[in-house]
Structure 1
Amino acid sequence: MSNKPLSVDIVSDVMCPWCYIGKRRLEQALAGIGGAFEVDIRWRPYQLDPTLPKAGKDRRRYLEDKFGGPDGATQAYRAVRQAAQDDGIDFDFDAIEVSANTLDAHRLIRWAGSEGSETQGKVVDALFRMYFEDGRNIGDDAVLIEAAADAGMDRAVIATLLKGDADRAEVRAEIDMAREMGVTGVPCFIIDNKYAVMGAQPADTLEDALREIFANRHTEAGESATGRG
Structure 2
Amino acid sequence: MARDRRIGIEVYVDTVCPWCYIGKKSLDEAVRSYKAQNNPDVEFDIVYKPFYLSAKPERPGQQSPSKEAVYLSRRTPEDRAQLLRRLGAAAAPYGTRWSWAGRLGSSRASHRLLRLARGRGSDVQGRLLDEIFRGVFEEGQDVADPAFLARAAAGLNLGGDEVRRCLREQDAGVDEEARAAREDDEISTVPTFVVQGRWRVGGMQGKEVFARLFDKAIKAQLKTSRM
**TM-score (norm: length of structure 2):** 0.87
Output the CA distance in 1 between the equivalents of 2:217 and 2:77.
43
Per-residue deviation, 1:86: 2.7
Per-residue deviation, 1:104: 0.5
Match of 1:209 in 2: 213
Match of 2:69 in 1: 61
CA shift in 2, pair 1:155/1:74, >3 Å: farther
Whether 2:29 is the aligned partner of 1:24: answer no
Instruction: Give the one of 102, 112, 122 matched to 1:117.
Output: 122
Whether 2:119 is the aligned partner of 1:107: answer no
* Structure 1 contact 146–155 (Cα < 8 Å) conserved: no
* Structure 2 contact 11–193 (Cα < 8 Å) conserved: yes
Whether 2:171 is the aligned partner of 1:163: answer no
Match of 1:183 in 2: 187
- Superimposed CA distance per residue, residues 74-119 of structure 1 (whole angstroms, 9 cap, x where no aligned partner): 33332112110133222223x2x21221010000000011111111
Q: Gapped runs of 5+ residues in structure 1? A: none
* Structure 2 contact 191–203 (Cα < 8 Å) conserved: yes
Output the CA distance in 1 between the equivalents of 2:58 and 2:68.
16
Q: Which amino acid aligns with 1:179?
A: R
Local SS of the residue matching 1:129: helix
* Structure 2 contact 5–41 (Cα < 8 Å) conserved: no
Per-residue deviation, 1:220: 3.5
Identity score, percent: 27
* Structure 1 contact 52–100 (Cα < 8 Å) conserved: no
Q: How many residues align?
A: 217
* Structure 1 contact 7–41 (Cα < 8 Å) conserved: yes
Per-residue deviation, 1:172: 1.0
Whether 2:73 is the aligned partner of 1:72: answer no
Local SS of the residue matching 2:133: helix
For the aligned residue pairs, the C-alpha RMSD in angstroms reads 2.0
| Mean Cα deviation higher: 4-13 or 53-62 | 53-62
* Structure 1 contact 138–144 (Cα < 8 Å) conserved: yes
Output the CA distance in 1 between the equivalents of 2:193 and 2:95.
21
Output the CA distance in 2 between the equivalents of 1:43 and 1:7.
11
Q: Which amino acid aligns with 1:172?
A: D
Q: Which amino acid aligns with 1:61?
A: A
**TM-score (norm: length of structure 1):** 0.87
Per-residue deviation, 1:3: 5.9
Q: Which amino acid aligns with 2:71?
A: L
Map residues 79-158 of structure 1 onto 2, 5 A cutoff. 79-93=86-100, 95=101, 97-158=102-163
